[in-house]
Structures are given as C-alpha cells and as structure tokens.
Amino acid sequence: MVPTSQSLSWDERLDNLLKWLKESEGFAVNENVHLQDTKRSGRGLYLKSGQLKKRDCIVSIPGDKQLNFYTVIYHISRFNRKLFIDGASCPSSKLASNENSQLDDPRTEAYRYLTNTAVLGLSSFQLLSLFILFEWKILPQEPNFTSFWKPFFDVLPFAEELRSIPATWICDPTSENRELIELLPAASRRHADRMVSQIENDWQTVSPFLQEWLKTRKSSSQINMQDLFSEFVHVYLVINSRCLYIEIPLKTDVADNLTMVPFVDFLNHNSNVDAYCKPRIESLRKSACGLGSFSIIVGDHEYINPGEEILLNYGAHSNDFLLNEYGFVLGENMWNYIDVSLEAMELISQEPVKKFLMENNYWGDYTISHSEVSFRLLVAFAAVVCPDLKKVEKFMLGYITESSFGSALSSTLNEFMASLEKSVKAKIESLEIITKSDPLCSQNVLTVYEGYFQILRNHLGNGV
C-alpha cells in the first residue's frame, strides 16, 4: 500500500491542503508567514515580511479540520447510522440522502463493526489509528474512493521520514538500523521498548476490526496482516509525533486528550519553554463536528527579521525523549539529563542500604543534569558511604547537608561519574565507526551521548 500523495509534488500537496482548509469558516494564516522546506530543519514556518508581536495569531484551524476522537466519530457515523454518541455523531439531517450511494461506499462496510460500545472502549490513539489506517492506507485501493481527509494525509510524513524513531528499528525486522538498538542509551532503550509495547497492545485491540472487515472482501487475500501492521506502525508514529493537547470530554484518561492539527504541525521545536509560540484553544468557536478552533499565537519572542523561523516549544524534554517521540535531537539542549538509575543501583550491594532506600521511597530514579546531581542520587550514595543510616535520614529530611559526609560522598560520586564518562566515550567510539546504519540515525544517537559527555565533563571538570 503506497500513499497516492507520492505522485504529487510538495507544492501541489500544499496547495491542495490550503484549498481544503479555506473551505472551513475560521481558518486563517498570518499574511506575514510562509512555509519553507530546508535541508537544515525540514519543513517549517518562517517570517516572510513585516513583524509578529506578542499574542499575534500565526494560524487558526477550525475544529472540523482537526482529527480527534470527536471528528472521527462524526465521520464514521456518516456511514454507520447505528453509531450514535450524543454530541459527536453526525446528525441525521447531515447524512447523505442517497441510500444507494451510501451502501456502495466501502466505508459503510468498513465501519459497520464500530458500535457505540466498541468505539467508546477505544482510546483516542486506537480510534484515530484505526480510522486513519482505513482512510489513508486501505480504502484508497477501492474504486472511486476519496477520503475527506486526503489533503491532510497527503502532507503527513512518509514512513521513510520517520525512520529515525527507534521504535521503527525494533518493529521492523528488516531495518538497517537494528544494530543501533543495542547502542541506545538505557533511558532511550526503555522509552523505545515502552512505545513498542504500546504499539503492539493497540494493534491487538484494533486488528480484530480489520480481520472482520477482511472476511467480507473478495480481495482480502491480497492484504497481508503483517503488511497492515507495518502500515499501522507508520500511522501510529505519525499520530504520536504530530498530536497536540486538547480536552476530550468523552474521555477521562489524560492520555486521550489529543488532536491532530493540519498546518500547525509544520512548526518546529525550540527548547526554550517560555519564549516561543504557544497554542490556544477557543472552545467557544465550535464547528458542527469539532471541539473548537486551535490557534498558535506569538509568545514573548517577537519576530522582526524576515527569514527567521517561527518556533513552537514541544515541552521541556531531553534528547532521549525527543529522539523517541519525534525522531530528532538538539545539538544544544538545556533539558538534557542522564538517567543513571541502573548503574547506581548496581553499585548498591549492601542489603540494609537497599532496604533503607526502598522503605523511604529513594530506590531508583537517579539522574544527573548539567547543573546538578539529583538529591535522590546524593541520598543513595550517602547511604552507601555512611554506616549511620539515622544520619542519612537527617540528610534526607533536610536537617544536614551533603558536606556532612565529607570527602567520602564526593569521592564516591566522582568515581561513579568517571566510570560513566568512560562508558559514554566507548559508546561514542563505537558509533563513530558504524558503517551499516543510516547516518542520520547513528548521528542522532551519537548526539545523545555527546550530551551525556558534556554533562559529565561539566561536573568532573568542576571537581564535584
């Protein structure tokens, strides 16, 4: 299954997207910005002329052109009249009047298994991934089928563009980057494994709907479930790397509060949390099948230089997080830290110390950032070097400081970080001589380790 958008140029896809968005009342793009595709940062929004001041609106997307739990229910209910969820389903007055044309539409058969109970039992990720898999990947193979969402699908990244996300190396047994899996930092590997586990769990949840649908298709033998899983992984990572926060009243889990917003997803990330653009949700500006207009407004940083990129902060995230969630890293990232939990816990062999830390909820979750060693790690090492655990308890409660443990604590910490530095250097050397993996992917992992090295050098250089 190959997206038909590959036959269109980028300019054609962008023109189609803008025409589609302009069909909805409330869509607006600031006249002073334009979209560019550069080798350095990919697609992004840039200041074309004039200036952008604080609280100026960059772009506003109405609710009916966002993909979320509500809009998906609306579009499924257009072809499944038994799906009625108050406030989300398509009103009967909006349904197509021609019964025969609706019966002939492949969506009628595809969505007939999605009952109220089934839909409400799915998470936002599960419902969106199933819907997008049908409308973007599967149903376009049917004669005369065109999804309402095609202009949006056509500008979403191809699987190749998401190849630097580590989960893809694990999910795809043929990936050229599989040798990088074992070279991932422990924090990145755990993050990747969590994502793969979630992908596989969601696949187990939605695949029965696909199997039921396949039973009704004459051409079902041409569709392989393994191929569908590969497409599902692509769809899942597109959602994960493009979704933004919005409250979903039908759901109670905060993980369900997401929406996909065309055009807004062109904005690239900057690690400065407070300076750059911010999202604004106007819940009172609801459309027939949406949750309100989603806008991006200028933050404290104002734009006055033509050609300057307009940036959005995705959150205060380390390179480990950015690599796994989005597939990119930053050369300079103020939020980098090293999760040293495994290494530290391996050093703590004394059972009384382990028991003490566990009982006081200080076992694990040890980190080192550029500016500090986490208090949890200091407590753990204080317990290692000091046989008087009552004294450690006073440190834990803030009655005494780390200096109370003298050179023993600082010496242990220095030895620990020197050992980490040696290990990081070995990983960097291994990555520098890799030849089989995709250079972009190996460079991203290398950048994560270089961030670690900078953190350790900062502490060791200061004689911590």
- Rounded distance between C-alpha atoms, residue 386 and residue 99, angstroms: 80
What was the pLDDT predicted at 285? 67
- Is the separation of the CB atoms in 88 and 74 below 8 Å? yes
Average pLDDT, the chain: 91
- Residue found under tokens 């807004």: 264
pLDDT in tens, 309-333: 999 888 889 999 999 999 999 999 9
* Average pLDDT estimate for 210-216: 86
Of the chain, the percentage scoring pLDDT greater than 90 comes to 76
Closest CA to 235 of 163, 156, 343: 156
Residue 107 Cα to chain centre, angstroms: 29
Q: Please say if the pLDDT value at position 388 is more than 90.
A: yes
| Average confidence (pLDDT) over 325-352 | 94
Task: Tell which residue, 348, 229, 1, has the closest CA to residue 363.
Answer: 348
Q: How confident is the model at residue 2 (pLDDT cuts 50, 70, 90)?
A: very low
Distance CA 41, CA 310 (A): 12
Q: Are 45 and 33 in contact (CB under 8 A)?
A: yes
Boundaries of every domain in the chain: 4-326, 337-461
**Residue-wise pLDDT tens digits, 440-453:** 999 999 999 999 99
Residue 3, pLDDT score: 45
pLDDT-derived band at 289, boundaries 50, 70, 90: confident
Q: Which candidate, 368, 355, 136, places its Cα nearest to that of 239?
A: 136
Domain 4-326 class, CATH top level:
alpha beta
Taking the CA of residue 249 as centre, how many other CA atoms within 13 Å lie in the half-sphere pointing to its CB? 10
User: 372-377, long-range: CB within 8 Å, 24+ apart, which pairs?
Assistant: 373/413, 373/459, 373/464, 377/340, 377/344, 377/413
**pLDDT of 138 over the 90 cut:** yes
